[in-house]
Structure 1
Amino acid sequence: MPTRNELGSHGESLAAAYLTSAGLRVLDRNWRCREGELDIVARDGDALVFCEVKTRRGLGFGDPVEAVTPVKQRRLRTLAQRWLAAHDEHAPELRFDVVGVLVRPSRPALVTHLRAAFL
């Protein structure tokens, strides 16, 4: 049984692969600052995408994408501002996506990608 950190890391790797196959270009992973961590920062055409990844083993606590609460959304907006201040990346559009990864025994993981999940 993988630890929570191992499960999260596995989910983030699956999410990055999924996003890449969907045509996004991953710019940064696990970027950290004092306020927290951004899981994935990517470019989707003209859009700069800040992506939160939630990984679960089951649905006992709901679908993984439901774990991005309004409090977490506010934190992600702050983290996006910090990332933009620290990097020379510009985009006419900023977007917040959520990727849910449901790891299932003996079956492939189920990946759900919510584009523009919140403002």
Structure 2
Amino acid sequence: MAHNLTLGARGEDLAAQYLTAAGMTVICRNWRCRYGELDLIVREGDTVVFVEVKTRTGLRFGLPAEAVTFAKQVRIRRLAAIWLAEQPGAWAPIRFDVVAVLIERGADPVIEHLPAVF
């Protein structure tokens, strides 16, 4: 389990760096409540973007983004609504993105940003 946590944290670090380099501002990382966790919350212009980061070390179980199932999308939407409700006056345009990170042994990480995918 520790390997998965370390891998996930590395993927989130790479995703945050990638999005920051693309001009976005990280508002919050690993926001948690009793219903779950949001990986990254960023701002792009006036839009609040909820980003799910999926990291894999290979393609044996499919592409990283394929792990964002419909059930996970529903949970992320619910968590986003809770986060927004906690922000006074923060209602703004929102979007849901996925950042897929592939870290294969001996190769540079591959990062794919999928904006507004659900």
Query: Is the pair's TM-score, using the shorter chain for normalization, greater than 0.5?
Result: yes
- Cross-structure match for 2:96: 96
Post-superposition CA distance 1:7-41 (Å, at most 9, x none) = 00000000000000011100000000011000000
The alignment partner of 2:90 has SS state of: coil
TM-score for the superposition, normalised by structure 2: 0.95
TM-score for the superposition, normalised by structure 1: 0.94
In structure 2, stretches of 5+ residues that fail to align are none
In structure 1, stretches of 5+ residues that fail to align are none
Change (3 A) 1:25 1:89: farther
CA RMSD of aligned residues (A): 1.2
Aligned-pair identity (%): 53
Alignment of 1:104-115 (within 5 A): 104-115=104-115
Instruction: Could you list the structure 1 runs, at least 4 aligned residues long, displaced by more than 6 angstroms after superposition.
Output: none
Alignment of 1:56-71 (within 5 A): 56-71=56-71
- Cross-structure match for 1:54: 54
